[in-house]
Structure 1
Amino acid sequence: MTDVANLQGKFAKVIASDHRHGGQPDIERRATALADEALNLQNSGSATQRVRSSLYATAASFRSSAMWAAIDGRRYQDAITHMREAQTLAELSGDQAIKFRIWSHAGSLYRHLGRPADARAANDVARHLHITRRDPMFASLGLARQLAIQGVAHERTALHRTFDQAQEAMGRATEEARPLWLNAFYDDAELHSLALSAYLAAGDWPTAEYHAHRCLAALRPHMRRSLAIATSRLAHAQLAQGDADAATRSAMMVPQDAATQHARVSRMLQEFGAALRATAPGSATARSWTEHTAAWRATA
């Protein structure tokens, strides 16, 4: 168990790197190598069933982090490979929390691939694990990710109800020991972030903007990647409502490192620039944005 504790300390560092930078290949490689390190310990001598289960759960945790880094970096085929390995390791561990994380991530993967039916099926596996009945915080996260899937599926009438259910479940959660990965990111800000994603995908721009502001107001300081994503989505919601000036001001607030190095953020800002030029071609606002992004590229 000392070996397990040492690996879990390394897992904490992987989680911290993910929230600062997100989607980087080096995070994916480091998490994969640490998963292999945990598995190698299985073959280094005799161990109790408790230790073996903990090692499998730790290896699954690292693989799920590699999977998420690949999703966040838009390396979707790599994410699928990590997902399959993580699912096997989670089954060997018998750990409900890591099973939830992996199937919930699978739902996110399929959502980013534009496959809402598969996303819903994967997320439903997570939501039907008994840990969601024992701990309302897991139930809340499952509902929040269902909300994002409903947005991609354009189920606009269901969004408000699902958000309320996720918020109500979070409100019932009591203080108790939970996995590091869950405590590190899931809170009111993340719930509003997923609502922002849902309403943006569904084309309800004013409600998306509302959730963007709520998310940004509640974000914890270490959530740098989430800050960049929410700010980029806010810019899209504002532009879609015809406020090019406010939208461009928002987009310019995205930190340069995220704008140039985080695949999802870079893609969102490229799409924002294209939409801005289509909406306000030749305007001073469009020229300002072009100059701003040129300065980013020059110093990247």
Structure 2
Amino acid sequence: MAVNAVLKQRMADLGLTQEELAGRMNAALLEITGRPGDVSDRTVRNLVNGATRRPIGRTRKALEAVFRCSLKDLGFECPSTPAPPEGPVERRQFITAGTALALSSAAPALSAPRRIGVSDIERLHHRFADVVANDHRHGGQLVIERKAAALADEALALQDSGSASQRIRKQVFASAAAFRSSAMWAAIDGRRFEDATGHMGVAQQLAEMAGDPYIKFRIWSHAGTMYRHMGRPADAAAANDVARKLSITRQDPLFASLGLARQGAIHGAAGDGTATRRAFDQAQDALLRADPEAQRPVWMNAFYDQAELDSLALSAYLAFGDFERAEAHGHRCLAALRPHMHRSKAIATTRVARAQLEQGDVEAALASAMSVPSDAAVRHARVVGMLRAFGSRLETIAPGTALAHTWTQYARDTWRQPR
């Protein structure tokens, strides 16, 4: 079999390795079909070494999308039956200054291409920091999910706007994966689990292309949280274990602490009190050993600290019925939360209210629940669901009382507000 010299030269012109071409073909298939591609390094190797002379189906579509030319122009034998013409692909409109950016690769420009460099990466990092900040303020909103997904596509489009070193290209893929993981988290927080699963698949694929252990940790840790909220503790533990086995948890105790704290929350959801307490003891020890001055990704610095550990402990102990311990962690969390953590404050306050209610302290529980900011009580899917459950439980514990009537009136007035 003869090497496909034309394809090999085309790859060289774009500075693509076999691994990178596989990644671009998968990205092109995602754009064309709406589903992640499954092109592997082996697929590309067979295309280059001549083992595959007549690529068909999804492989053909991906090649033609990446190189913007026909199979014949790539040195392949065309199938005897021409492929049916495809309808136009509707491309997403990205959130930029009114500019639409295409995901699939562009043909090399006739003029000298621009050089993608550190300044481009810094710009992506700044925009990612904005997404993280908006999430902490508002959380779970569809607009955050869509913006993060669009920025992921914009980052991928940057790959095709000029030449770049391998190091820079990997950082671009890492940025795209980070944006997708934020879209995934917004969907989880908004209880849109099917959408979250779709974002997860794309994010995992991009993270592999980036080879970035930090973003891999974030994605798999989010996956564990997603499955926990879906009531699938076994899947949650398996996903979180992937995050915990990454090398960064051995190198940085802060990542080890987060992995253990989320494992504790999963044990709590599964009703295993002993494993929950052990996990949180280990998470606390690791947190105390972490160097506060170490360099870490912006998303980690923005949210994980003692308050978040206590928030996860509050969730865990509330789930398996240790209400006194849950409330104690809740008060510690609220006392330590940073000012920008609006979403976390609303969630913790709602959980404290439930812990107080389950201990029979109905008046304090009502005061806590009614102190949740109205914006979160109306617009945040997770908070809304927990407050409705609080109301149902209040009716069971204190039916027909003045306090129950007060809550009913408050809830009616609150949820009557326009959303």
Percent identity at matched positions?
65
Alpha-carbon offset, residue 258 of structure 1: 0.2
* Higher helix proportion: 1
Q: 1:144 aligns with which of 235, 253, 261?
A: 261
Q: Check conservation: 2:177, 2:204, Cα contact below 8 A.
A: yes
Matched, 1:211 2:326: no
Matched, 1:178 2:296: yes
Task: Give the aligned residue type for 1:11.
Answer: F
Partner of 1:19: 136
Structure-to-structure mapping, 1:119-134, within 5 angstroms? 119-134=236-251
Alpha-carbon separation, structure 2, partners of 1:297 and 1:70: 22
Matched, 1:289 2:407: yes
Alpha-carbon separation, structure 2, partners of 1:206 and 1:285: 22
Partner of 2:211: 94
Alpha-carbon separation, structure 2, partners of 1:166 and 1:279: 35
Structure-to-structure mapping, 1:225-264, within 5 angstroms? 225-264=343-382
Alpha-carbon offset, residue 46 of structure 1: 1.7
Alpha-carbon offset, residue 154 of structure 1: 0.6
Partner of 1:55: 172
Alpha-carbon separation, structure 2, partners of 1:172 and 1:203: 30
Alpha-carbon offset, residue 195 of structure 1: 0.3
Q: Check conservation: 2:148, 2:180, Cα contact below 8 A.
A: yes
Summarize deviations over 1:241-266 as a string: whole Å, max 9, x none: 11111111110010000000000000
Please identify runs of 4+ aligned residues in structure 1 that moved more than 4 A: none
Alpha-carbon separation, structure 2, partners of 1:228 and 1:264: 10
Q: Check conservation: 2:264, 2:280, Cα contact below 8 A.
A: yes
Alpha-carbon separation, structure 2, partners of 1:278 and 1:240: 11
Higher relative contact order (CA 8 A, sep 6+): 1
- TM, length-normalised to structure 1: 0.99
Moved more, 44-53 or 257-266: 44-53
Alpha-carbon offset, residue 27 of structure 1: 0.1
State the secondary structure of the residue aligned to 1:299: coil
Aligned residues: 300
Q: Check conservation: 2:261, 2:313, Cα contact below 8 A.
A: yes
Alpha-carbon offset, residue 131 of structure 1: 0.5
Structure-to-structure mapping, 1:64-79, within 5 angstroms? 64-79=181-196
Alpha-carbon offset, residue 166 of structure 1: 0.4
Partner of 1:199: 317
Matched, 1:223 2:325: no
Moved more, 116-125 or 235-244: 235-244
Q: Check conservation: 2:152, 2:177, Cα contact below 8 A.
A: yes
Q: Check conservation: 2:378, 2:417, Cα contact below 8 A.
A: no
Question: Structure 2 unaligned runs (5+)?
Answer: 1-117
Alpha-carbon separation, structure 1, partners of 2:315 and 2:284: 16
Alpha-carbon offset, residue 293 of structure 1: 1.5
Alpha-carbon offset, residue 299 of structure 1: 3.4
State the secondary structure of the residue aligned to 1:293: helix
State the secondary structure of the residue aligned to 2:416: helix
Moved more, 266-275 or 238-247: 238-247
Summarize deviations over 1:185-233 as a string: whole Å, max 9, x none: 0000000000000001111111111111111111111000000000000
- TM, length-normalised to structure 2: 0.71
Alpha-carbon separation, structure 2, partners of 1:78 and 1:199: 29
Task: Give the aligned residue type for 2:149.
Answer: T
Moved more, 134-143 or 239-248: 239-248
Structure-to-structure mapping, 1:95-114, within 5 angstroms? 95-114=212-231
Moved more, 258-267 or 200-209: 200-209
Matched, 1:43 2:154: no
Matched, 1:278 2:396: yes
Summarize deviations over 1:18-66 as a string: whole Å, max 9, x none: 0000000000000000000000011222210011000000000000000
